[in-house]
Structure 1
């Protein structure tokens, strides 16, 4: 790399995207000793106000950024991992996944009424098919409203009574407030965090993906590798393997969350049908043999590009995810996913 030029980090223009890219930029400056500048790029998801479901969901926020990276307009990208298609884009690699923050969803209301106790006909906003299903499981009497827009605009719809509640990611609230603003984003509103075992979130939620070219400068890859968190990478790789195994997109009505403790992995997956009688749920725990050795091997490989992706740690994560996907399909998830993917007229 040219030692006189700053590292160029491509990001969407939204407040959240800029905030989370800024977090990565500061860490990259710390490990590299080089300045990092943000290159703001407009994606289709930022300009097209149609629902995410109608846009196809997967990749709607990533395509323009990836085109800019491949064209040499920037050196790396920062994405919300949950918005990335499971299939890796040709010529690119996810070079790091920094430590995941709070993965839960939260429900925002004016008066603190829990979601389950909102009166019949209350208007709850979300653009996610998964969250639609979860809201209706918690309270079948509410009306779910398809919404788009940034965090601030969604909050405002609650404040001005256009909506009675919105569902958001806790991680997004944490990151937009990380710039040290005096007034928290949720000021004057109430936050109800949802319990992960009963409300699993999107695969990769609360994790960032730092993406760059597969043939990027080895020094850049090494610097990016310093930002990587092995336990986060293991968990989100497993979650995304489940999505890929059941052939569900990143905006399908599927909640998948994995976490580790004491050399064990724990996984909760819900595939949501047309009503709760069709839902397919899976709870799974298993020990990971030689887990510490797998992590050590991964740490040695990270920062070397594609080698990290083929490390034994991530191979094991994919094996577990693939096995769980097969169980879900055998238990009825195939019918749900096929129906959700069918074209409408």
Structure 2
């Protein structure tokens, strides 16, 4: 029997989604007659250790994945369960994404102390987020808001909402749903109004390229529609050389079919920190890599490079 060690960050959300992944893989093993047992290995990442500054100031890519990937390259783990939005656009040599399961809700959501919607927030409301992408879009829609950074896992942020005088915080809806806390959501921000982070709501199951057993197992868990959408988003990210410290977002979904090929719609954005300048693009196509590249080039033509250079230099 193959023992498969699954690496995970140690936050309650990371462990919850890792356990959910293992339960799905166990069902696949039963259906396919595959003999395997699973074990979780908790790993602390740089992004988990540094909590006293915003992500944009920590710098670098892969803040929540590098240590996990190193453990895999060292042979300490066989599968890593990542939130896809944490994954850099380029993977280390020898590692591959073996599966992208069905996506959870990709949208951002508002958790307001008084249960208010975004439109109902009072003037000068104090709103917490650690994301430049979110703050850019929120300020573009509501320049009156006071955006203040807030770090920590979901439970920490929910506690800070109550204890630190925030009127509301903005989180990924997927995390709250995976934890069974959707009742805390006071408003959902549509992708048209707040374009999500690349890969938001999706998981990436990473493994070693030469581990054929694990790759076969993971291939049975892959969702093709989610894979295509995330591929387009990550192609956009790769062209703009972005990371969590850059205010950009992209969201793709299948909207139809042509000659047997799925047609994707990709919406994307790049904005300034203060929301004074917000560039958006909407494109459709059947080749996800090409679609992501074209969207990035369109925003570059509008001045995205200038914005990103300014953000990186500040």
Same topology, TM > 0.5: yes
Work out whether residues 127 and 166 of structure 2, in 8 Å CA contact, stay in contact via their aligned partners in 1: yes
Q: What corresponds to 1:246 in structure 2? A: 240
- After superposition, what is the alpha-carbon deviation per residue over 1:53-111, rounded to whole angstroms, capped at 9, x for unaligned? 11115201101101111111111100001011101111110111001111010000122
Q: What corresponds to 1:340 in structure 2? A: 311
Distance 1:120 1:57 in 2: 35
SS for the counterpart of 2:303 is helix
Distance 1:201 1:12 in 2: 22
Poorly superposed stretches of 4+, deviation over 3 Å:
274-277
- After superposition, what is the alpha-carbon deviation per residue over 1:251-278, rounded to whole angstroms, capped at 9, x for unaligned? 4211211111222211111111255552
With structure 1 as the length reference, what TM-score do the two structures score?
A: 0.84
Q: What corresponds to 1:171 in structure 2? A: 174
Distance 1:51 1:11 in 2: 22
User: What is the total number of aligned residue pairs between the two structures?
Assistant: 303
C-alpha displacement of 1:237: 0.6
Pick from 13, 16, 34: which aligns with 1:16? 13
Work out whether residues 85 and 250 of structure 1, in 8 Å CA contact, stay in contact via their aligned partners in 2: no
Q: Which runs of 5+ in 1 are unaligned?
A: 178-184, 289-315
Q: Which runs of 5+ in 2 are unaligned?
A: 31-35, 258-262
Structure 1 or 2: larger strand share?
Answer: 2
Distance 1:284 1:190 in 2: 30
Tell me, yes or no, if structure 1 residue 203 matches structure 2 residue 209. no
Work out whether residues 26 and 36 of structure 1, in 8 Å CA contact, stay in contact via their aligned partners in 2: no
The 5 Å alignment of 1:23-172 reads 23-33=20-30, 34-49=36-51, 50-56=53-59, 58-160=61-163, 162-172=165-175
SS for the counterpart of 1:262 is strand
SS for the counterpart of 2:119 is helix
Distance 1:113 1:98 in 2: 33
Q: What corresponds to 1:312 in structure 2? A: none
With structure 2 as the length reference, what TM-score do the two structures score?
A: 0.92
C-alpha displacement of 1:323: 1.6
Report the more deviating stretch, 256-265 or 159-168.
Answer: 159-168
C-alpha displacement of 1:320: 1.6
Tell me, yes or no, if structure 1 residue 269 matches structure 2 residue 276. no
SS for the counterpart of 1:88 is coil
- After superposition, what is the alpha-carbon deviation per residue over 1:130-184, rounded to whole angstroms, capped at 9, x for unaligned? 011122123211211111111112112223462110000010011122xxxxxxx
Pick from 188, 196, 208: which aligns with 1:213? 208
Work out whether residues 246 and 328 of structure 1, in 8 Å CA contact, stay in contact via their aligned partners in 2: no
Work out whether residues 266 and 291 of structure 2, in 8 Å CA contact, stay in contact via their aligned partners in 1: no
Distance 1:45 1:151 in 2: 14
Distance 2:275 2:215 in 1: 45
Work out whether residues 7 and 75 of structure 1, in 8 Å CA contact, stay in contact via their aligned partners in 2: yes
Report the more deviating stretch, 145-154 or 245-254.
Answer: 245-254
Pick from 304, 312, 322: which aligns with 2:293? 322
Q: What corresponds to 2:3 in structure 1? A: 6
C-alpha displacement of 1:190: 4.7
Distance 2:273 2:87 in 1: 25
